[in-house]
Amino acid sequence: MPAASSFLSRALDDGAVLRIAAPGDEDGILAAIHALAAYEREPDAVRTTTADLTATLFGDDPKAFAHVIERDGEIRAIAVWFLTFSTWTGRHGIWLEDLFVDEADRGRGYGTALLASLASVALERGYPRLEWTVLDWNAPAVGFYRSIGAEAMDEWTTQRMTGEALTALAAR
pLDDT at 2: 42
d(C-alpha 119, C-alpha 129), whole Å: 9
pTM: 0.92
Residue 89 makes CB contacts below 8 A (sequence gap 6+) with 128, 129
Q: Is 39 a catalytic residue?
A: no
d(C-alpha 5, C-alpha 36), whole Å: 27
Which contacts of 122-128 are long-range, i.e. CB under 8 A and separated by 24 or more positions? 122/93, 122/94, 124/5, 124/6, 124/7, 125/5, 125/92, 126/91, 127/83, 127/91, 127/92, 127/93, 127/94, 128/86, 128/89, 128/91, 128/93
d(C-alpha 95, C-alpha 92), whole Å: 10
pLDDT at 7: 67
pLDDT at 1: 42
The answer to whether 139 and 74 are in contact (CB under 8 A) is no
pLDDT tens for the 172 residues of the chain, in order: 444 566 678 999 999 999 999 999 999 999 999 999 999 999 999 999 999 999 999 999 999 999 999 999 999 999 999 999 999 999 999 999 999 999 999 999 999 999 999 999 999 999 999 999 999 999 999 999 999 999 999 999 889 899 999 999 999 9
pLDDT at 25: 98
Residue 139 burial (CB count, 10 A): 10
Given 39, 110, 127, 145, which residue is catalytic?
145
pLDDT at 35: 98
